Structure 1
Amino acid sequence: MKKIFITATGTGIGKTFISAGIAGICLEMGLKTAYMKPVRTGAEADDDPAFMRLLLPSLYKLPPALECPYSFPLAASPHLSAKLSHSEILPSRIISSVREIEKINGLDLLLIEGAGGVYVPLNADYTILNLIKELNVPALIVGLPGLGAINHTMLTVSALINYEIPIAGIIFNQLSSEASIIENDNIETIERLSSLSALSAVRTIKISGGVPLLKDIMSLFDADKIGQMIRDL
């Protein structure tokens, strides 16, 4: 089974939105695809797994305990959300959940969505970086293309390289409807400095209430590049 960890240059970048687009493309490729969110914070306001199931009814339905091993009400760093809930995040529980998913017969792909960026702590001394490294999976970076993107993205790239974590590529989210000279130059500069390909530059989608249609989300992606990334895993 192929696996990929979807991380970001920060919080609120749109990892779940990007995960939905990738999952839709993979399902169209005929891949039996599952999604998990190891740690979810702000559970009272946001339910990423539920959003994915609503948008992608063909997504393989994992048992709730495997789909999201940890969920906390406060929208904060996982270590703090857990502490204020009188709990502690045990990386071994997350690793065990992934290993159980790996045993599912016929499952082709697992999308693992992280919380925030790579240095987000899960407990006092264990970060998202440690988790990706221990899972031994490649990482996909989701970033914004606007002002500050070069520094934020390159710091994320450097952190992953320092941990010897393979990088599958970068997807830029929330591109302006008419990309500015800053956004275009940022993307080109990051590609040059990182030697990584921008797999897609996803424009902001306008939603007039409710949930966007999957086909509208998928139309924003370069399906050929996403498909090749998945095949190369």
Structure 2
Amino acid sequence: MMAESSVIVVTGIGTGIGKTVATGLLGRYLLGQGKRVITQKLVQTGCTGLAEDILVHRTLMGQDIQPEDRQGLTCPYVFAKACSPHLAASLAGQEIAPEVLRQATGTLATQYDMVLLEGAGGLYVPLTEELTFLDYLEQEAYPLIVVSTPRLGSINHTLSVLELARNRGLTVLGIIYNRSQESDPVIAEDSAQVFSRYLKRYGHHDCVIDLFGVEEYIRQQRKLDFNQLFRLDR
């Protein structure tokens, strides 16, 4: 049994936290389970042409570029300036239209079992002058997977995301705990326990899954197991 929504958002506690790798590996896992899955990113800044993060997803999933990538469905907005989406759009003489995002995701959702939607930055990233990514997610009521790390400051940022989601009526399916960088094992284990407690406190799913380096999964054949997030066996 899949998660109820066919669209799941992969967000994080900030930029450079591992969302892109996590999204690609989640897609790889679902493909291995026989699911028809595609990844999406609403907006990419700092590049031109095909969205760089989508290309990373395809590599990690062992796929070629998909027709939907070339059609712009998997990333409706790509801007050259590496900055906040609302500013990048303004500098390009454009404005991000929520309906364009909504239609692209809806089209993908009719063609695939699952759409993994990677966020840009964190929840409070502004898409327009009046709309944040969090506002948009609240409108769409998509469930979330949150990417976090053991590094210093992560507890504060992670618990803030969990509380924000609860306050906006959003469900967190679990936390992907990015342990690809070396960290103090005592801090790492304690942080994981804190995350677990607060997932339960805020009414989310109590699921914290370790994520290690990409090489371990791709070249060393370490088993990917995200079943707790998707509950495929229920």
TM-score by length of 2: 0.85
- What does residue range 2-41 of structure 1 map to in structure 2 within 5 Å? 2-41=6-45
In 1, the alpha carbon distance for the partners of 2:186 and 2:180 equals: 11
- Pairwise CA distance, 1:173: 1.0
Where does residue 127 of structure 1 map in the other structure?
Answer: 132
- Pairwise CA distance, 1:138: 0.3
Q: What stretches of structure 2 of length at least 5 have no aligned partner?
A: none
Whether 1:71 and 2:43 are equivalent positions in the alignment is: no
Where does residue 123 of structure 2 map in the other structure?
Answer: 118
Q: What stretches of structure 1 of length at least 5 have no aligned partner?
A: 206-211
Whether 1:102 and 2:109 are equivalent positions in the alignment is: yes
Superposition misfits of 4+ residues, deviation over 6 angstroms: none
Q: Secondary structure at the match of 1:182?
A: helix
In 1, the alpha carbon distance for the partners of 2:211 and 2:106 equals: 32
More strand by share: 1
Where does residue 157 of structure 2 map in the other structure?
Answer: 152
- Pairwise CA distance, 1:83: 1.3
In 1, the alpha carbon distance for the partners of 2:174 and 2:64 equals: 23
Does the CA-based 8 Å contact 2:141-2:169 persist in structure 1?
no
Structure 1: which amino acid aligns with 2:109? E
TM-score by length of 1: 0.85
In 1, the alpha carbon distance for the partners of 2:25 and 2:206 equals: 18
Q: Secondary structure at the match of 1:5?
A: strand
Structure 1: which amino acid aligns with 2:94? S
In 2, the alpha carbon distance for the partners of 1:149 and 1:54 equals: 28
- Pairwise CA distance, 1:221: 4.4
**Aligned residue pair count:** 223
Q: Secondary structure at the match of 1:21?
A: helix
In 2, the alpha carbon distance for the partners of 1:213 and 1:144 equals: 18
Q: Secondary structure at the match of 2:179?
A: strand
Aligned identity (percent) is: 29
Does the CA-based 8 Å contact 2:207-2:229 persist in structure 1?
no
In 2, the alpha carbon distance for the partners of 1:59 and 1:200 equals: 28
Where does residue 188 of structure 2 map in the other structure?
Answer: 183
